Amino acid sequence: MSEENIIELVNADIVQRDHVVLSDISLEIKTGEFVYLIGKVGSGKSSLIKTLNAELPLTKGAGKVSGFDLAELKSREIPFLRRKLGVVFQDFRLLSDRNVYDNLAFVLKATDWKDEKEIEDRVFQVLDKVAMTHKLMSMTHQLSGGEQQRVVIARALLNNPEIILADEPTGNLDPQTSIDLLQIFKDLNEQGKTVVIATHDYPLIRRFPARIITVDEQKIYETVITRKENKG
């Protein structure tokens, strides 16, 4: 496996509930790349992301993410892998019984941050990156869908991950909010993060061109979508 690939799969099967979703796939993503995974609902995009995140085990083939061997990964090693990853879910997975600050502080404390001042500083830093410091004390149910997703991106950044994995991050959002969020991902990529986004939002892909991998019929393919200049 190449050292310059921060994500690599070789002849891997992606399996969900004993069903082979993707068969014998190989994938290389270099450090600092921005990659879209596209494909219809049920094609296996989410399962692929869950395998990279060790939510689903890799039982056939070889895989490496941020230096961790997915095929040999022990359960005690999974939290250390996940600290290298920032995962953005379509369904947010925010805690509804606490405000924005407490949602983020909870994650830091769960990953062994102890100093309250350091926790406070880090929460402010990541909320500033997504322009959400003014919603610090808001309950999550008081936020719009776009605001909630900004908080989810902030949460993904807490432990300064090397890789951002986003599963349909704009799936439930209006076009302008989607554009604003994609700009955040592009900015993070320009700051050195490797970004992988599963999406079927083709207008967004054309507006923010990057490498495209299509997931279809249990396989993955490199794809070229016609680029158009962004005039707005």
Digit-coded pLDDT (tens) for 39-73: 988 899 999 999 999 999 998 999 999 999 999 99
CA distance 116 to 103: 14
pLDDT of 157 strictly over 60: yes
Q: Distances from the Cα of 137 to the Cαs of 124, 127, 170, in angstroms? A: 12, 12, 24
The stretch 140-160 carries a mean pLDDT of 92
Residue 53, in any domain of the structure: no
CA-CA-CA-CA torsion sign (132, 133, 135, 136): positive
CA distance 220 to 22: 8
Whether the Cβ atoms of residue 223 and residue 200 lie closer than 8 Å to each other: no
pLDDT at 127: 96
pLDDT band at 229 (very low <50, low <70, confident <90, very high): very low
pLDDT band at 3 (very low <50, low <70, confident <90, very high): low
pLDDT at 227: 52
pLDDT at 172: 79
Q: Which residues pair with 16 in a beta bridge?
A: 19
- Give pTM, 2 decimals: 0.90
Q: Please count the CA atoms within 13 angstroms of the CA of 52 that sit on its side-chain side.
A: 31
Token digits of residue 17 = 């509930």
Whether the Cβ atoms of residue 5 and residue 18 lie closer than 8 Å to each other: no
pLDDT of 20 strictly over 60: yes
DSSP single-letter state for residue 168: S
The stretch 162-166 carries a mean pLDDT of 96
pLDDT at 232: 40
The region that residue 131 occupies, defined by phi over 0 for left and psi between -120 and 50 for alpha, beta otherwise, is left
pLDDT of 32 strictly over 80: yes
Residue 51, in any domain of the structure: no
The stretch 202-225 carries a mean pLDDT of 90
**Number of structural domains the chain divides into:** 1
pLDDT of 223 strictly over 90: no
Residue 118, in any domain of the structure: yes
- Angle formed at CA 52 by CA 48 and CA 54, multiple of 5 degrees: 110
CA distance 24 to 119: 43
CA distance 232 to 229: 9
Q: Which residue has the higher pLDDT, 224 or 162?
A: 162
Lay out the sheet containing 211-216: strands in order across.
85-88, 163-167, 194-198, 34-38, 211-216, 219-223
What integer best gives the mean pLDDT of the chain?
Answer: 91
CA distance 97 to 169: 22
Residue 224, in any domain of the structure: no
pLDDT at 2: 59
Tell me which of 17-26, 34-43, 89-98, 161-170 is least confident: 89-98
pLDDT at 92: 79
Residue 6, in any domain of the structure: no
Residue 109, in any domain of the structure: yes
Tell me the residue length of the chain: 232
pLDDT at 1: 54
pLDDT of 231 strictly over 80: no
The stretch 171-184 carries a mean pLDDT of 89
Which domain does 111 fall in, by range?
93-160
β-bridge pairing 163-167 and 194-198: parallel
Residue 122, in any domain of the structure: yes
pLDDT of 93 strictly over 90: no
- 30 CA to centre of own chain: 15
Q: Which helix (H) or strand (E) holds 61?
A: strand 60-65
Whether the Cβ atoms of residue 148 and residue 156 lie closer than 8 Å to each other: no
pLDDT at 230: 45
Residue 121, in any domain of the structure: yes
